Structure 1
Amino acid sequence: MEKNNKYCEITKEILDLTTLCKKNSAIAPEYYSQYDVKRGLRDVNGKGVLTGLTEISEIRASMKDGDRTVPCEGKLFYRGIDIEDIVRGFVREKRFGFEEVTYLLLFGELPDKAELEQFQKMLAGYRTLPTNFVRDVILKAPTPDMMNTLARSVLTLYAYDDKANDITVPNVLRQSLQLIANFPVLSVYGYHAYSHYQGGQSLVIHTPKAELSTAENILYMLRADSKYTEMEARILDVALVLHAEHGGGNNSTFTTHVVTSSGTDTYSTVAASLGSLKGPRHGGANIKVIQMFEDMKRSISDWKDEDEVRAYLDALLNKKAFDRAGLIYGMGHAVYSLSDPRANIFKSFVERLSEEKGMLEEFRLYSMVERLAPEVIAGERKIYKGVSANVDFFSGFVYHMLDLPLELYTPIFAIARISGWSAHRLEELINDGKIIRPAYESVAKHRDYVPLGEREPAFAAENVK
């Protein structure tokens, strides 16, 4: 697609202004400790600053041992119920779990059989876009970033809603259910538009089926032949369940609370949350994991050689491999220390899928890195809490085995997390909290206003050093 260079060109004027911006925006690092600023709203041990209360989910990474707080195996609870028990329950009964979990997050109770069937019918009924929306919005100006496409679609839906600005609970619940139902459609159709207009692929638009689960519909709509195995659908469903919610403090959910507290509409709130999730430090992390492993497989000659794998991990930490960022992607978490329960749950399903796909050797490489990386990190850096594989470590591998395009990795996260965002938006509205406004301390020196004619040029050499 041809673009106007005016919108892409970095001119000398921009570079000069960048220099000035950096000069006058850099804050001395010592100020943060001097003013006891909790950067990232976390302390040195990674514990988040308490900014609110929630009944939607709980993350447990430590426990009391007398007067001490010590790390423990990670636990995640949805509405007080252990996520391991939830997954075990629907897997044992050979059911899809995402719709049940969405009901639990929104309404605080597990549905009985009749309630679940009615809820699934409600979502199926909402899984319809406005007339000509696909033609007029999704197929117009497709972009290679599906998160931007998804956010644009969400913001445009505002124009089709006669009650877009109504933030009463019944209306917001209605809007939330429609977005939960339509996120798979918006994401998959957005990808097909991109792959057709920018990738030269055939344009495929499959209408979702009412009788299929969310996970099944994603695969049904995405694949040209609409075919998928039961194992593929079930492991994608587990992925959606594990990504549906993760406490009120994660970046995108906190964004949901912040923007909701301003009193704005649902579409603006969800678009803001999507913008947060898009970032590689949040929802885009599993893409980095896949890209890191692809580089690793090219760089080492024997995937079974621990010494060779260890040397590559050491090179990663020392900024000598992959993107030279000094990170082993998929390892460590802002909250969990000894383990991420979502990664533990996922791993057993990942192994089974790797058997079905004939990719056991690659799974064993992932398992080796999972085991070696904490040792390598501990040998190189001071660690204030434990380091373990997080859910992104395995989710990218799952999506790779499902032959999902990289462009859809983060939107699938959003398809799951819209359930949690919606629950938190409703919780914020129901509890009628104040607008969220944390404090920032100004460290700028006061100075006199200088009349225009008496000012020295900002770009004089001595002023921009």
Structure 2
Amino acid sequence: MSRAKTLGRITGTALKLHKGGLLSASHCRHVSSSTNLKDVMEKLIPEKQKEIVEFRKKHGSSKVGEVTVDMMYGGMRGIRGLVTETSVLDPDEGIRFRGYSIPECQEKLPTAPGGEEPLPEGLFWLLLTGEIPSKEQVDAISKEWNERAEIPNHVITMLNNFPSKLHPMSQFSAAICAMNSESKFAKGYSEGIHKSKYWELCYEDSMDLIAKLPTIAAIIYRNLYREGNPPDSIDNKKDWSWNYASMLGFEDPQFVELMRLYLAIHTDHEGGNVSAHATHLVGSALSDPYLSFSAGMNGLAGPLHGLANQEVLVWTTKLQEALGGEVSDEHLRDYIWNTLKSGQVVPGYGHAVLRKTDPRYMCQREFALKHLPNDPLFKLVAQLYKVVPDILIEQGKAKNPWPNVDAHSGVLLQYYGLREMNYYTVMFGVSRALGVLASLVWDRALGLPIERPKSFDTPSLKKLVGAS
């Protein structure tokens, strides 16, 4: 049975909403033949604008949920308050990119010659348009990103002058922010461009930024971990992920395939996570995509968001050292129980929204089963997957006892020799750009306003609910 079919049983069969109607999961949308993504967007945006105007006219006063005091004090968890067109996270199914599950994306999106994993370029096309792109359309994106990849000299100088003690994510965010010297959106806004053109300049900035990120990320990696040796130049014959892997210094075809998978599945996770929301929030003030995405990366750098896979890997490595090689399930259960009884958690298990095994975990597991089934660290991760959920269910505290994406990604990167854990969040950030910037383009296309929710202090909130 193919990987797509196997994982399809996990995520379930979907029905997709498109232009007011339901399409079966087997339907593959190839609406446009043009290889110019901007031209495709120009045709789609008026249709979407009309759809939303009509929807708001009929249902603008409809209530979509309620807000409790616990939600307000609990990080707004569960409050329905954002519109994000690119993806939806279902608690029981997992992430869907424009209606497509990860297994469906693996099956339908174009791959590189001889490869099996979806090209991130194709996922970006899907996120922006809702359409499954052709191979020719994906190749056109690869070509365009290669042509836009040149980094401003002042940014290269800044990166080369950063002290080695400055965290990779701080360097990444600072370089992104500094590149706003190139912003077409900022320039156009200062010249008084009409707001109907905002999306076009946001699109241009986003394409430029995505194209440049692998080079920026590679310079940071090689400055910190490869004695400052500059990365190779962009190869116009390579796709986005392949160029990134090559600039890091990795040419193993399996690692390149892993990069394609990694960069595809980490792109988007609906709009409420910190990096997506921060990008949207700052962008709502009409800050350009460079400033907006830099803000998102500052959020991703936090230990409760993008650093999770690093923490999982540290914990798993210590577990491996403590147990001393292969152990029985019973011995592992005792260790996990002792961990929980001591007040600690098992990192990599549970999710704020998901209530099942993360499909992103499963596709990485399938990759590992195919390419590194005998790796000791992967075997331990697989054993944890067998043992931990039952223990967490028995304990009764975890809302979701299943592993998330962070429980697996670090193990794969370690296997192929990318062992510098402090750098992992930068890779996450390179991927996340595709989702949050696609969403930002749609924010400007739909004319979404500045975000400004109402806040209360505790005395005012007590008065509002009638508390003494």
Aligned to 1:41: 76
- Return the alpha-carbon distance in structure 1 between the equivalents of residues 328 and 86 of structure 2: 44
**Contact 1:252–1:277 under 8 Å retained in 2:** yes
- TM-superposed CA distance for 1:375, in Å, is 2.1
Aligned to 2:215: 185
**Residues 435-454 of structure 1 mapped to structure 2, 5 A cutoff:** 435-443=450-458
Aligned to 1:210: 236
Question: Does residue 1:87 correspond to 2:106, yes or no?
Answer: yes
Relative to structure 1, the CA distance from residue 420 to residue 35 in structure 2 (aligned partners, 3 Å threshold; closer, same or farther) is closer
- TM-superposed CA distance for 1:286, in Å, is 0.5
- Return the alpha-carbon distance in structure 1 between the equivalents of residues 183 and 281 of structure 2: 23
What secondary structure, in the 3-state scheme, does the structure 2 residue paired with 1:434 have?
coil
Aligned to 2:146: 124
Q: Pick from 385, 399, 417 the counterpart of residue 370 of structure 1.
A: 385
Relative to structure 1, the CA distance from residue 300 to residue 435 in structure 2 (aligned partners, 3 Å threshold; closer, same or farther) is same
- Return the alpha-carbon distance in structure 2 between the equivalents of residues 156 and 234 of structure 1: 31
- Return the alpha-carbon distance in structure 2 between the equivalents of residues 111 and 363 of structure 1: 34
**Given the two structures, how large is their TM-score scaled by the length of structure 1?**
0.76
- TM-superposed CA distance for 1:288, in Å, is 0.6
What secondary structure, in the 3-state scheme, does the structure 1 residue paired with 2:232 have?
coil
Q: Pick from 257, 281, 303 the counterpart of residue 304 of structure 2.
A: 281
Q: Percent identity?
A: 22
**Contact 1:330–1:390 under 8 Å retained in 2:** yes
- Return the alpha-carbon distance in structure 1 between the equivalents of residues 153 and 71 of structure 2: 54
- Return the alpha-carbon distance in structure 2 between the equivalents of residues 52 and 133 of structure 1: 34
Could you tell me which amino acid in structure 1 is paired with residue 271 of structure 2? G
Relative to structure 1, the CA distance from residue 368 to residue 81 in structure 2 (aligned partners, 3 Å threshold; closer, same or farther) is same
Aligned to 1:106: 128
What secondary structure, in the 3-state scheme, does the structure 2 residue paired with 1:58 have?
strand
- TM-superposed CA distance for 1:91, in Å, is 5.6
**Given the two structures, how large is their TM-score scaled by the length of structure 2?**
0.76
What secondary structure, in the 3-state scheme, does the structure 2 residue paired with 1:139 have?
helix
Say what the alpha-carbon RMSD is for the aligned residues.
2.3
**Residues 307-456 of structure 1 mapped to structure 2, 5 A cutoff:** 307-319=330-342, 326-355=344-373, 359=375, 361-383=376-398, 385-404=399-418, 405-443=420-458
- Return the alpha-carbon distance in structure 2 between the equivalents of residues 97 and 52 of structure 1: 28
Cα deviation 1:114-151 (Å, max 9, x = unaligned)? 322222111110111123532x2110123441111011
What secondary structure, in the 3-state scheme, does the structure 2 residue paired with 1:281 have?
coil
Could you tell me which amino acid in structure 2 is paired with residue 412 of structure 1? M
Aligned to 2:286: 263
- Return the alpha-carbon distance in structure 2 between the equivalents of residues 160 and 275 of structure 1: 20
Unaligned runs of 5+ in 2: 1-66, 190-197, 461-468
Aligned to 2:267: 244
Q: Pick from 235, 241, 245 the counterpart of residue 219 of structure 1.
A: 245
Relative to structure 1, the CA distance from residue 56 to residue 35 in structure 2 (aligned partners, 3 Å threshold; closer, same or farther) is closer
**Residues 2-151 of structure 1 mapped to structure 2, 5 A cutoff:** 37=72, 39-42=74-77, 48-61=78-91, 72=92, 74-89=93-108, 90=110, 94-95=114-115, 96-131=118-153, 133-134=155-156, 136-142=157-163, 143-151=165-173
Could you tell me which amino acid in structure 1 is paired with residue 231 of structure 2? I
- TM-superposed CA distance for 1:344, in Å, is 1.4
Could you tell me which amino acid in structure 2 is paired with residue 86 of structure 1? C
- Return the alpha-carbon distance in structure 1 between the equivalents of residues 323 and 247 of structure 2: 37
- Return the alpha-carbon distance in structure 2 between the equivalents of residues 180 and 222 of structure 1: 17
- Return the alpha-carbon distance in structure 2 between the equivalents of residues 350 and 91 of structure 1: 19
Cα deviation 1:61-86 (Å, max 9, x = unaligned)? 2xxxxxxxxxx4x2322112222111
What secondary structure, in the 3-state scheme, does the structure 1 residue paired with 2:122 have?
helix
- TM-superposed CA distance for 1:274, in Å, is 0.2
- Return the alpha-carbon distance in structure 2 between the equivalents of residues 100 and 369 of structure 1: 33
- Give the number of aligned pairs: 381
- Return the alpha-carbon distance in structure 2 between the equivalents of residues 202 and 381 of structure 1: 50
**Contact 1:123–1:177 under 8 Å retained in 2:** yes
Unaligned runs of 5+ in 1: 1-31, 43-47, 62-71, 321-325, 446-465
Q: Which one is further off, 369-378 or 421-430?
A: 369-378
